[in-house]
Structures are given as C-alpha cells and as structure tokens.
C-alpha cells in the first residue's frame, strides 16, 4: 500500500489562501500523475488539479482555474496546491492522488473507480 503524506488545509475566511502538499515515495512520484480531488458533503467527487510529474502537463478544473496553482518539487518528491482567493464553495475534503490514471480521472475522462492510490485527505473550510 503506497502511503502519501499530505499536509496543509485548515480554516480560512473567504478570499484567503492555503497550501496543500503531498509527498510520495520516489518510485511513486516519478513519471506519475499526481494532484487533488475533493468531496464536499452531499456532493460528488471532483477533480481539482493534476500534474504529470514526468512532462509537467497540468490540468485545472474550471471552478479553480486562475485561483489555484499546482506545482512540483522533484527533489522532495512533492507536489503542492496553492489555493488563493478561496470561496465558501471550496469547502471540502481534499485528497491527494498519485496514480497513472489520475490525469484522466481529474479531467473526467475516467471514473474515480479507476484510482488505486490516494491519501487520507485534509479538510479545507472556507467561511464567508
């Protein structure tokens, strides 16, 4: 079982910022698709952002584009999600995924049942 180390999250007011990080074992990190999906109470899971750690290809959900930035640090086997201009509707559990299918899952090309590896999740709460 691959373990992903997630950190970040918390509670902020609308307009604030948070940064999530996700560290994977080296063999998991290399040439993989990593990123985050989220799930709010009573809602479906939603791909938020993904990055191909091999070629750097990035995807953002339309709901976060322009506000969230995903990046990678190859020396630390870590990807980051900088979340700015947070809105109450961003409130959700955010899960890091590291799976060759995630780049397609995040884009809605594959269902979430295609994922094998994701983290324990971190809660992001944005108050108005």
- Residue 22 CA to residue 72 CA, distance in Å, equals 10
Q: What is the mean pLDDT of residues 63-87?
A: 98
Q: What is the mean pLDDT of residues 47-66?
A: 97
Task: Return the closest-CA partner of residue 98 out of 48, 51, 55.
Answer: 51
Q: For 15-43, write each residue's pLDDT tens digit.
A: 999 999 999 999 999 989 999 999 999 99
Q: For 112-123, write each residue's pLDDT tens digit.
A: 999 999 999 999
Give the SS3 label for residue 93.
Answer: strand
């Amino acid at each position: 079982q691959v373990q992903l180390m997630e950190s970040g999250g918390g509670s902020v007011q609308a307009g604030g910022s948070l940064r999530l990080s996700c560290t994977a074992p080296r063999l998991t990190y290399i040439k993989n698709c990593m990123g985050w999906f989220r799930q709010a109470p009573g809602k479906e899971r939603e791909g938020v952002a993904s990055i191909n750690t091999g070629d750097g290809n990035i995807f953002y959900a339309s709901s976060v584009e322009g506000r969230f930035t995903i990046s990678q640090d190859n020396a630390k086997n870590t990807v980051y999600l900088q979340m700015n201009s947070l809105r109450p509707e961003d409130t959700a559990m955010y899960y890091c995924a590291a799976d060759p299918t995630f780049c397609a899952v995040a884009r809605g090309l594959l269902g979430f049942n295609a994922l094998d590896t994701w983290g324990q999740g971190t809660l992001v709460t944005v108050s108005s």
